[in-house]
Structure 1
Amino acid sequence: MKKSQKIFAAAAAGALVITAGATAVANAGSGSSPAAASIQPAAAQAAVPAADVQPGADNVVAQNRITVGASAKAVGAALAKCQADKLPFVTVALVDRFGTVQALLRGDNAAEHTIESAKQKAYTAAAFGSPTSELAKRISGNGPSIADLPGTLFLPGGVPLKVNGVSVAGIGVGGAPDGKLDEACAEAGAAAIAVK
């Protein structure tokens, strides 16, 4: 959900609670005590029972995630590689396979656009389970292609992170003058947490 949608949803929920409270006051009438007209918290107005879903292969999907410590280690290693290569103006992002940022590290002098570039490369690699440099080779012709998918970026610099052969995250680097340089840094970040 986009930020503006979240704000709208929160505002709508707040308006609903206020409307419900005003209705309760109006319905209380003049013969009711002030306590009867008090506004209840939203949770007390209508408690919706939660479904207790039993874990099992038919109901729950187990997912692997990169830990916060490993995420921090990976982005740190990627940025260190870029700095060693005299590229202090990059941003490194590690996202889960849904595109949620796990860790982000913006280098000194990194421009604003490098943040989105790194996140989108990381998400593209995670979602497709391939390095973005390989995915870029699959785009051809003038018509619609996978490159038109929102939130993706098919430029070198994104590397998938896999657990038992399944893509669970991606690390992306944006800002170097050549995508191959971005990719070398992303690979260094991935290698920092790879099984040795």
Structure 2
Amino acid sequence: MNESMAVSSYVISAKAASLACEAAVAKAEALGIRINVAVTDASGTLAAFLRMPNAFLHSIDIAIDKAYTAASFGFPTADWPKVLESDEALRIGMPHRPRLVVFGGGLPVRVGDALIGGIGVSGGSAEQDAECAQAGIDALLKLG
């Protein structure tokens, strides 16, 4: 095969995706909230999901879409207001795109400079969701 026609990529492992979900749930328990947490691979395809008992049902899709958004663009969903503020066309159009979430709780997952996925949490405030998502990433960093 012609190497100029292909690129290498990294994919989050099932073990890592599961570990990130479990760590996010542990953080939610410490905060006294109930969450849904999703991890996607870099293409935005769901790799792992956990729903705490009695977490909001509507938050299932929100968590998945936060992970999808973070993986799709490679930056935290909480950064969208800054991105949108300087471009009126983006501000008007982007929030209406399906699956795009423009508030906190979604973070990209990286190994060095390589984007390997996204993690999204929904069920608490945007800040609590982001804190739980970061706990998931922190657990992955300990894997080394």
Fold match by TM threshold 0.5 = yes
Structure having the larger proportion of residues in strand: 2
Quick one: which amino acid aligns to residue 74 of structure 1? A
What does residue 154 of structure 1 align with? 102
Q: CA RMSD in A?
A: 1.7
| Alignment map for 1:110-189 (pairs within 5 Å) | 110-140=55-85, 141=88, 144-176=92-124, 178-189=125-136
| Alignment map for 1:1-196 (pairs within 5 Å) | 54=1, 56-87=2-33, 89-140=34-85, 141=88, 144-176=92-124, 178-194=125-141
1: CA distance between counterparts of 2:133 and 2:20? 8
CA pair 182-146 structure 1, distance change in 2 beyond 3 A: same
User: Is the radius of gyration larger for structure 1 or structure 2?
Assistant: 1
Structure having the larger proportion of residues in helix: 2
TM-score by length of 2: 0.88
Q: Which runs of 5+ in 1 are unaligned?
A: 1-53
For each residue in 1:156-184, what CA deviation from the matched residue of structure 2 results, as whole angstroms up to 9, or x when unmatched?
000101123132200000111x1000000
2: CA distance between counterparts of 1:123 and 1:150? 11
2: CA distance between counterparts of 1:79 and 1:129? 23
2: CA distance between counterparts of 1:105 and 1:174? 11
- Alignment length, in residue pairs? 140
Identical-pair percentage: 35
Q: Which runs of 5+ in 2 are unaligned?
A: none
TM-score by length of 1: 0.66
2: CA distance between counterparts of 1:127 and 1:72? 20
The answer as to whether partners of 1:127 and 1:167 remain within 8 angstroms in 2 is no
C-alpha deviation, 1:134, in angstroms: 1.5
For each residue in 1:9-37, what CA deviation from the matched residue of structure 2 results, as whole angstroms up to 9, or x when unmatched?
xxxxxxxxxxxxxxxxxxxxxxxxxxxxx
The answer as to whether partners of 2:77 and 2:106 remain within 8 angstroms in 1 is yes
The answer as to whether partners of 2:36 and 2:49 remain within 8 angstroms in 1 is yes
